Amino acid sequence: MAGVALLLLLVFCQGTLQAEATSPMTQPATVAVAALPEGELSAYPAQLPPLPYEYGALTKAIDAETMQIHHDRHHASYVKNLNAALKQQPNLQNRSVEALLRDLKSLPADIRTTIQNNGGGHLNHTIFWQLMSPNGGGQPTGAIANAIDQTFGSFDNFKKQFNEAGGARFGSGWVWLVRNPQGQLQITSTPNQDSPIMEGSYPILGNDVWEHAYYLRYQNLRAEYLTNWWNVVNWQEVERRFQLASQQ
Ligand SMILES: [Fe+2]
- Ligand 1 centroid to Cα of residue 166, in Å, is 14
- Has residue 219 been placed in a domain? yes
Domain holding 225, by residue range, is 142-246
- Ligand 1 centroid to Cα of residue 51, in Å, is 13
Would you state the pLDDT for residue 181? 96
- Ligand 1 centroid to Cα of residue 125, in Å, is 6
- Has residue 92 been placed in a domain? no
- Ligand 1 centroid to Cα of residue 163, in Å, is 17
pLDDT band at 35 (very low <50, low <70, confident <90, very high): low
Q: Each residue of 77-110: pLDDT tens digit?
A: 999 999 999 999 999 999 999 999 999 999 999 9
- Ligand 1 centroid to Cα of residue 55, in Å, is 14
- Ligand 1 centroid to Cα of residue 25, in Å, is 32
The CATH number of residue 187's host domain is: 3.55.40.20
| Rounded Cα gap, residues 35 and 224, in angstroms | 43
- Has residue 97 been placed in a domain? no
What are the helix (H) ranges across the chain?
Answer: 2-22, 31-34, 64-69, 76-86, 97-102, 109-130, 142-152, 155-168, 215-218, 222-229, 235-246
Q: CB-side exposure of 243: number of CA atoms within 13 Å?
A: 8
Q: Each residue of 203-235: pLDDT tens digit?
A: 999 999 999 999 999 999 999 999 999 999 999
> Are 216 and 46 spatial neighbours (Cβ–Cβ below 8 Å)?
no
pLDDT band at 31 (very low <50, low <70, confident <90, very high): very low
The pTM score is: 0.85
Q: What is the mean pLDDT of the chain?
A: 88
- Has residue 88 been placed in a domain? no
| 3-state SS, residue 10 | helix
- Ligand 1 centroid to Cα of residue 192, in Å, is 9
Nearest to 151 by CA among 121, 109, 182, 196: 182
Would you state the pLDDT for residue 38? 73
- Ligand 1 centroid to Cα of residue 84, in Å, is 20
Q: Across-strand partners of 185?
A: 179
Would you state the pLDDT for residue 13? 37
Would you state the pLDDT for residue 37? 74
- Has residue 35 been placed in a domain? no
Domain count, the chain: 1
